[in-house]
Structure formats: C-alpha cells, structure tokens
Amino acid sequence: MNGIPYKLLVSLMIFVLSACAGTPEQPEDDMNMKGASRANVQLGVAYMRENNLETAMIKLKKAIEQDPRSLRGHDAIAVLYSRIGEDELARKHFKKALSLDPKDSRTHNNYGLHLCQAGDYDKAEEEFNKAASNPLYAGRTAALTNAGVCANKIPDTEKAEQYFRAALDTDPAYVPALLNMVRTTYTQGNYMSSRAYLQRFEQVAPYSAESLWLGVRVEDALRDWDASARYAMLLKNNFPDTPQARLLQEWENERQHR
C-alpha cells in the first residue's frame, strides 16, 4: 500500500489583521485556525514523504492543536505513528479520524495498511473492503491491491489472486496489481499465467529489479533457458547493487553446485 518521491507544493494561508477596532468574531477565528491546520497537515505530509519525520511530527501535532477535529490531521499523524512503531498511538488517531467520518475511504485504507503490518489480517481486510466499497474513491484499485498483498502474508494465495483480479478489473494497467499477480501465480506454480502477467506488466512499466528477478525464475520454470538468461543479464547490468541481483547470484551459485 507502491512510491516515487516528490515535493508537495503548499499554499500557506496569509493572515490579515482587521483594521477595524474591536475583537474579531469567533467564526472568523475558527476559519483562520482551520486554514492554518490544513496548511500544517500538508507540510507534515510533505516532510513525511521526504523522510524528515521529526519535522513532520511537529507540523502534524500543531495541525491537530489548531483544529482538533481535523480528519486529515488525525489520519496523517496515525500514519506517522505507525511508521515509527507507535502502534497504540497510531490506532488511537485512526479511530479518531473514523469517528469524524466513518466513511472516509482514505483513512480506512491507511488503517488497513497499519493493521496488516501488525499482523491483524482479518481486521485489515475489513478496512480495505470498506475503502474499496466506495466506487468514487480514487484509491479504490490500491485498496484492493493492498488487500491482496495482505492476503499473501497469511498466506492465502487464492484470496490474494481474487483481490488482484478485482483491482485489475478496475484498472487493467495498474502496475502493482500486475506485478503481484506475477508473484502470486508463480507461487501457485501457474507459470504460464505468470508469464502472461509479466508481459502485461512490461507493456505498461519499465523493467524493475523485482520484475526481472521474477522473469528469471518464471522462464526457468517454463524451461525457456534463453529467456531466463536474458532476464538475468538485464538484472545484472541494470540493477547490480539490488537485493534481487544478490539473490540471482546466490541462485546461480547454488545451481552450479548441484
């Protein structure tokens, strides 16, 4: 629940002091505080993406202080707490966010990721399904894919395959679902399907270390030695310092000593 780092542009609210005498009305104060809170949420998320977790925490705590009912603030800080292993605080803020909007699909998806990481697979599946049940949710395909990834951790490859198929029904070119279908069908021993999904992946995405390592093993299982060797050469030449390249080296060494 697959990322390319990028900087988030944030529009900061400019506070204008009223020239009129007297105390500003409470609704205007509330509006200003909520605007400041939204800006700090955006900043907190941006810092999180840049792995500046300390500054992200400062911004997100400030956002919630400015607006205790900020759904996005509670969701974002829950993700951050989950990332640093503070599970109890993460669940507290996920639940707070969902108390503010029980139908918020993004929070359900993020909560599902947290629960899956914690090994609570049944509850994680419930959260992913709640997220995916909203046909208007832009992350619906991701939520279905996340459910499949979580099912594979059980492991339950049949259930995982069902979720990946559902994700591809909504977006046939969704790269994470395609790559996960290659992994899952390979694990099941359905190598022809693995090859087909790998070919679909290659039509919409560039080679990756993981896709090439899968290609080596899929084609080896299908006894297409030339194709397996081509994938191996691409992996060695393009991704020499990756864990997949090291696994390939170990795999080749093992085969030489048989």
Give pTM, 2 decimals. Answer: 0.86
pLDDT in tens, 141-164: 999 999 999 999 999 999 999 999
Domain ranges of the chain: 32-102
pLDDT in tens, 212-225: 999 999 999 999 99
Can you give 195-231 as a three-state secondary structure string?
Answer: HHHHHHHHHHCCCCHHHHHHHHHHHHHCCCHHHHHHH
* Three-class secondary structure of residue 107 per DSSP: helix
Residues 188 and 180 sit within 8 Å (Cβ to Cβ): no
Q: Which CATH architecture has domain 32-102?
A: Alpha Horseshoe (1.25)
Letter for the amino acid at 88?
Answer: E
Residues with Cβ < 8 Å from 114, sequence gap 6 or more?
78, 79, 82, 87, 90, 91, 94, 124
* Three-class secondary structure of residue 256 per DSSP: helix
Cis amide prior to 155 (ω within 30 degrees): yes
pLDDT in tens, 58-79: 999 999 999 999 999 999 999 9
